[in-house]
């Protein structure tokens, strides 16, 4: 092998080792920081801070298809303003996510304590579609029976405790 071939092979190996797909470092996320901002705003139940991250024509499917989608920022504002006073504190968090073009796929838990003392933890998966850096469609998938029973005071099952005890995504 001559020096040029050896040098070229060395450079190629070095660039592969630095590739985000092959390294231990995650590539820089474009979309996840928007979700992080939404979560931070909702931890303070700041409805307007949530809404700065969505388009005027947002479609929010927040019931796993049980009820019609919420359409438009004004309708989302109304829905969040109904939800916020019922929640004493919340610990919404994401365990895993993946980005593909204009979509963010996520898995997490919507965990909160109601003003009447119930502890609710709803494991879910979801998808956000982005346009111009803002969320234009939001879909959530969860078991509504878990949500309803825990809001009525049912205790958290060991299975749910295990599902939500994972580390938060970085």
pLDDT tens string, the chain, 170 residues long: the values are 454 444 444 444 444 344 344 334 556 689 999 999 999 999 999 999 999 999 999 999 988 778 899 999 999 999 999 999 999 999 999 999 999 999 999 999 999 999 999 999 999 999 999 999 999 999 999 887 887 888 888 888 899 888 889 999 88
Q: Please give the model's pTM, rounded to 2 decimal places.
A: 0.79
Run of H or E including 8: helix 3-18
Q: Considering the domain 26-163 in this protein, what is its CATH number? A: 3.10.450.50
Residue 48 CB-half CA count within 13 A: 0
Cα 71 to Cα 56: distance, rounded to the nearest angstrom: 9
* Tokens 């020096």 belong to residue: 3
Cβ atoms of residues 99 and 31 within 8 Å: yes
Distances (CA, A) of 45 to 50, 92, 117, 120, 141: 8, 11, 17, 16, 22
The dihedrals phi and psi of 76, each to the nearest 5 degrees, come to -65, -40
Count of CB atoms within 10 A of residue 15's CB?
Answer: 10
β-strands 54-61, 134-142: how paired?
parallel
pLDDT at 154: 85
């Amino acid at each position: 092998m001559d020096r040029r071939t050896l040098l070229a092979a060395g450079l190629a190996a070095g660039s592969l080792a630095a590739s985000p797909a092959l390294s231990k470092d995650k590539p820089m996320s474009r979309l996840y920081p928007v979700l992080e901002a939404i979560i931070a705003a909702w931890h303070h139940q700041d409805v307007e801070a949530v809404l700065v991250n969505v388009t005027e024509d947002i479609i929010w499917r927040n019931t796993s298809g049980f009820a019609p989608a919420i359409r438009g920022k004004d309708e989302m504002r109304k829905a969040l303003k109904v939800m916020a006073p019922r929640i004493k504190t919340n610990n919404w968090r994401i365990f895993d996510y993946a980005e593909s073009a204009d979509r963010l796929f996520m898995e997490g838990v919507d965990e909160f304590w109601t003003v009447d003392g119930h502890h609710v933890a709803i494991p879910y998966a979801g998808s956000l579609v982005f346009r111009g850096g803002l969320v234009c469609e939001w879909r959530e998938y969860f078991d509504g029976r878990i949500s309803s029973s825990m809001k009525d005071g049912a205790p958290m099952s060991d299975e749910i405790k295990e599902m939500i005890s994972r580390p938060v995504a970085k």
